Amino acid sequence: MTSIKDVAKHAGVAISTVSKVLNNYPNISEATREKVNKAVEELNFVPNSVAAALSSKNAGRVALMIDLNVKTQAIDEMAMRYISGAITKAMELNLDVITVFVFMFQDKTTEELIRYLQSQSISGIIIYGAAEDDLVLQELIASKKFKCVCVDQNYVGDGISSVTIDHKKAQYEVAKKLIEESQAKKILYISGYEKSYVTRSRLQGIKEAALENDVELIIKDADFLEEKAEEVAMQYGRDVDAIVCASDLMALGAQSAMKELHLEKPICGFDGISLMGYVGQGIYTIGQNFSQISAIAMEELHRLMMDEKGQIIEVEYSLIRN
Amino acid sequence: MTSIKDVAKHAGVAISTVSKVLNNYPNISEATREKVNKAVEELNFVPNSVAAALSSKNAGRVALMIDLNVKTQAIDEMAMRYISGAITKAMELNLDVITVFVFMFQDKTTEELIRYLQSQSISGIIIYGAAEDDLVLQELIASKKFKCVCVDQNYVGDGISSVTIDHKKAQYEVAKKLIEESQAKKILYISGYEKSYVTRSRLQGIKEAALENDVELIIKDADFLEEKAEEVAMQYGRDVDAIVCASDLMALGAQSAMKELHLEKPICGFDGISLMGYVGQGIYTIGQNFSQISAIAMEELHRLMMDEKGQIIEVEYSLIRN
DNA sequence: TTGTAGGCGTTATCAT
DNA sequence: ATGATAACGCCTACAA
């Protein structure tokens, strides 16, 4: 295992000097910088990140907090994109990442989770879609023990950033498209889990769209669940001209209901999961680039870890027709 | 950050003693063991795994090698299940895991990958479905630098294990079912990527099933690609009584082809991805519990890391009708 | 600008 | 059975 020591010897300088050029310290002469870099090359040296993490206080170790608890299968696709986007970017930025599934801490306290992260020398975390009633996650953020970027949230603060698309605007646009095309005068909006930022934002969007277009709105919750959306659509779908859903999966549920009722109603979803490509016949949806969002979140976390201040970053989305 | 030092002080023993009880060393009196455990409890101490990894040669750090290169969208679901299964089990076993996407090392050499893993103090890896022509992965395994368990392979050796379902038998069974039900006399088998263990195993299975049931077999490759399978089915599907596919996605491709040709032919797939639940109308398939497979792989890796010897572990599968 | 040395939190080897 | 103490590989004041 070639170490920084070997490099130092090979380059004829002190260990600390090697460390300094490795970490781009100022006050290093170009000459020694080159000497060291040459030695690094020749020895194929790769610094041991575990040792670095141990010794340094601003260790570049971050955790991905994935919450699969949302009762949805197709969540796998999003989670996977999130994870791969984050890890790929982390590699570029020289950050080490551990992946934590929130369900693994189901019956643990916030303190236990914090201690676990600390035992891993984690200094930054990315939280994907923390619901407001997920106390542990909320307390985790509030603890301020870690730099923190939230995906699909609007938290900002000291060491806290968020990255998200404009859910309100996106919901507004897709709904408007549907309304215009279908000339709907009355629509059913199937909403998501109420304790979530995205649900509220999208709700605002649909309301605005309805108001502006003089459309009557029936709003029902389905907790992002396909089956529940199907039930809701069965019950209320008959009397409306179109159905707008806060997620693709719920849109599929609504679609099933319409099929069963032998009704043809325009439907739209939200997220752009690939399943829609198979079964979302002509359904409009909002496409999100999950892996890009996650990469941006990682970059933002990196910024926070350099003690820059928190911000909200808005990411592009796209209007898709399946 | 409460450390082992604090625990030692609190318990009135030496640091090394604490370490020993923490790691279940022998030759510790019950009395001090209790003293230490009590202190651990009271201080809510969680050992810093980074420090442990640095200090110990048999660090419990493992890497998940995920190859998303397979050109398939629905691969996300499998990968996600693999990852969550592995990480959950790793947590139980007190192993730290890093996730590596093989594509991140696309244009790197094997040596670079090895050095990266070493720089992370990795001592064991799980490789998911390494193709035989993926030189880097093959060399990685051959290097013997890490304990290694392969999922969907039949490698065994010193420090190498594999965990897999019996692909041959599974393919045999699902095909037989289809043949019996449909009384097929001639079937099209759409095979997967040829340089892979699972493809060859499944091929054996279908051949055996055909032979035993006196069925004529047409075998075509489609590289696990949906579109390619569709083309193949378009071309050869007309003349056969049924179509057996080496993956669910290819089965969907075949299904599309049959629809386009306005033909009704029994089809079966392989894997049991949830997409099939949506669009695989009555299609038989082999259900694999990816997360369980992955958990078992992690357990096996743990065994290998205790210097136990390699083995092949066979996991259960199930026959599913969508 | 460069080098010396102490420390990060463990584990592991030796004494005791 | 227990305790000092030297690693592990790197970072970082501080000194030179």
Same domain? For B126 and B23 the reply is no
Mean of the pLDDT values across residues A153-164?
Answer: 97
Look at residue A161 in the predicted model and tell me its pLDDT.
98
Same domain? For B23 and B125 the reply is no
Q: In this complex, do B98 and A97 lie within 8 Å of one another by their Cβ atoms? A: yes
- Shortest-distance nucleotide from B54 CA to C1': D8
Whole-model pTM: value is 0.96
User: A322 lies in a domain?
Assistant: no
Distance B91 CA to D8 C1' (A): 24
For D9, nearest residue by CA–C1' is: A51
Nearest Cβ partner for B54 among A51, A91, A97: A51
Q: In this complex, do B111 and A44 lie within 8 Å of one another by their Cβ atoms? A: yes
Residues of chain B in contact with residue A101, where contact means CB-CB under 8 angstroms, are 84, 87-88
Spell out the residues 6+ positions from residue A152 whose beta carbon is closer than 8 angstroms to its own: A128, A129, A162, A164, A167, A196, A197, A198
Say how far apart CA A307 and CA B154 lie, in whole Å. Answer: 49
Look at residue B130 in the predicted model and tell me its pLDDT.
86
Distances (CA, A) of A188 to A168, A185, A280: 17, 10, 18
User: B276 lies in a domain?
Assistant: yes
User: B136: closest CA among B109, B162, B155?
Assistant: B109
Distance B98 CA to D9 C1' (A): 20
Look at residue A59 in the predicted model and tell me its pLDDT.
76
Helix B135-142 vs helix B110-119: crossing angle, to nearest 10: 60
What is the least distance, in Å, from the CA of A239 to any CA of chain B?
27
Asked whether the beta carbons of A231 and A254 are under 8 A apart, the reply is: no
A89–B contact, CB cutoff 8 A: no
What is the least distance, in Å, from the CA of A53 to any CA of chain B?
7
Distance A45 CA to D4 C1' (A): 34
Burial B312-322 (b: 16+ CB within 10 A, else e): ebebebeebeb
A68–B contact, CB cutoff 8 A: yes
* % of chain A residues with pLDDT over 70: 98
Number of domains in chain B: 3
A73 — pLDDT class (breaks 50, 70, 90): low
Say how far apart CA B230 and CA B224 lie, in whole Å. Answer: 11
Burial A280-293 (b: 16+ CB within 10 A, else e): beebbbbbbbbbeb
For C5, nearest residue by CA–C1' is: A16
- Shortest-distance nucleotide from A6 CA to C1': D9
Using CA coordinates, name the residue in chain B closest to A75. B77
User: A321 lies in a domain?
Assistant: no
B274–A contact, CB cutoff 8 A: yes
User: B322 lies in a domain?
Assistant: no
User: A51 lies in a domain?
Assistant: no
User: B206: closest CA among B258, B247, B154, B155?
Assistant: B247
User: A217 lies in a domain?
Assistant: yes
Same domain? For A104 and A61 the reply is yes
Residue type for position B261 = L
Under 8 Å CB pairs connecting chains A and B tally to 109
For D6, nearest residue by CA–C1' is: B55
Q: In this complex, do A49 and B119 lie within 8 Å of one another by their Cβ atoms? A: yes
Query: Number of C-alpha atoms within 13 angstroms, CB side, residue B171?
Result: 26
Subset of residues 2-41 in chain A with CB less than 7 angstroms from any atom in strand D? 3-5, 15-16, 19-20, 22-23
B77–A contact, CB cutoff 8 A: yes
Same domain? For A253 and A161 the reply is no
Query: Does the pLDDT value for residue A58 go beyond 80?
Result: no
Same domain? For B72 and B87 the reply is yes
Average pLDDT, chain A: 94
What is the least distance, in Å, from the CA of A179 to any CA of chain B?
28
Best mutation site among A22, A58, A80 for testing chain B: the one with the most B CBs within 10 Å? A80
Same domain? For A89 and A233 the reply is no
Same domain? For A157 and A296 the reply is yes
User: B50 lies in a domain?
Assistant: no
Asked whether the beta carbons of B142 and B131 are under 8 A apart, the reply is: no
Say how far apart CA A144 and CA B194 lie, in whole Å. Answer: 52
pLDDT mean for each 10 residues of chain B (322 residues) = 94 96 93 96 96 88 86 76 97 97 93 96 94 93 96 96 98 97 96 94 98 97 94 97 96 96 96 90 94 98 96 97 86
Using CA coordinates, name the residue in chain A closest to B85. A101
Same domain? For B160 and B298 the reply is yes
**What is the residue range of B308's domain?**
56-165+292-316
pLDDT digits (tens, 9 = 90+) for A25-41: 988 999 999 999 999 99
Query: Does the pLDDT value for residue A146 go beyond 60?
Result: yes
Same domain? For B143 and B186 the reply is no
A129 — pLDDT class (breaks 50, 70, 90): confident
B259–A contact, CB cutoff 8 A: no
Asked whether the beta carbons of A263 and A237 are under 8 A apart, the reply is: yes
Residues of chain A in contact with residue B67, where contact means CB-CB under 8 angstroms, are none
Look at residue A155 in the predicted model and tell me its pLDDT.
96
Query: Does the pLDDT value for residue A70 go beyond 70?
Result: no
Supply the CATH number for residue B81's domain: 3.40.50.2300
A272 — pLDDT class (breaks 50, 70, 90): very high
Look at residue B143 in the predicted model and tell me its pLDDT.
96
Supply the CATH number for residue A11's domain: 1.10.260.40
B22–A contact, CB cutoff 8 A: no
Same domain? For B174 and B201 the reply is yes
Look at residue A71 in the predicted model and tell me its pLDDT.
52
Same domain? For B123 and B108 the reply is yes
Same domain? For A133 and A172 the reply is no
A1–B contact, CB cutoff 8 A: yes
Structure tokens at A42: 């020749």
A98–B contact, CB cutoff 8 A: yes
Best mutation site among A61, A119, A230, A248 for testing chain B: the one with the most B CBs within 10 Å? A119
User: A220 lies in a domain?
Assistant: yes
Distances (CA, A) of A83 to A60, A190, A298, B73: 17, 28, 10, 15
Subset of residues 57-76 in chain A with CB less than 7 angstroms from any atom in strand D? 57-58
